[in-house]
Amino acid sequence: MLSIIGKFLFHLVGWKLEGDYPGNENSFVVIVAPHTSMWDVPIGICVKWWKKMNVAFYVKEEMFFFPISIILKGLNAIPIKRSGNTNFVFEVVKDFKTRRSHRILITPEGTRKKVKSFKTGYYFIAKGAGVPILPVIFDFENKTIIMKDLFYLTDDIEKDQSDIEDIYDGYKGKIPDFSFSKAKG
């Protein structure tokens, strides 16, 4: 039922989907950009429901209070400690190692403001877990979500990071001025 609702709402607001979701049997890190507005969330939820995507995301554990915790758990949110000596990357890699298949969503910009390069946490999570990355673009200018092919990391972080950033370069988010663009020179 959620699949029908998600598809209906997604198309009702005039959005399109390009590319294929690789399925729920694989483990991978989903990176979504540009992330410039909280409007990304309901649009993403529609696609998640429509395509029956079993994708989780991490939320600081302080957000898990009643009644918000019910909504977060329903959306497949995982509480994570973000204080003290916890290492987020290590904790997420550990999650990958303990699950048969695991897919998590990360916004590599780390903020909804403009950035000139992605943070590298997503990279070290994927590398440490030995899983590929699924690049997903929120193209508000053309009202299209674009799912690219799985990206398999090499041992060259600088090249991989540059290649991944190239995928997103120039796409416009809900707030165009906050959209990602690579640092020039």
- Tens digits of residue pLDDT in 126-155: 999 999 999 999 999 999 999 999 999 999
The mean pLDDT of 10-23, rounded to a whole number, is: 92
- Tens digits of residue pLDDT in 88-121: 888 889 888 888 888 999 888 766 667 777 888 8
Q: Which phi and psi (to 5°) does residue 45 adopt?
A: -65, -40
Q: Which phi and psi (to 5°) does residue 173 adopt?
A: -85, -175
CA-based nearest residue to 93, from 48, 64, 131:
131
Handedness of CA 107, 111, 117, 119 (dihedral sign): negative
CA-based nearest residue to 126, from 6, 44, 45, 26:
26
pLDDT for 185: 38
Structure tokens at 66: 């009643």
pLDDT for 184: 52
More confident call, 131 vs 38? 131
Q: Which phi and psi (to 5°) does residue 53 adopt?
A: -80, 115
More confident call, 179 vs 33? 33
Burial class (CB in 10 A: 0-12, 13-18, 19+), 59: middle
> How do the domains of the chain map onto residue ranges?
2-171
CA-based nearest residue to 13, from 39, 48, 52, 49:
39
Does the pTM of the predicted model rise above 0.85?
yes
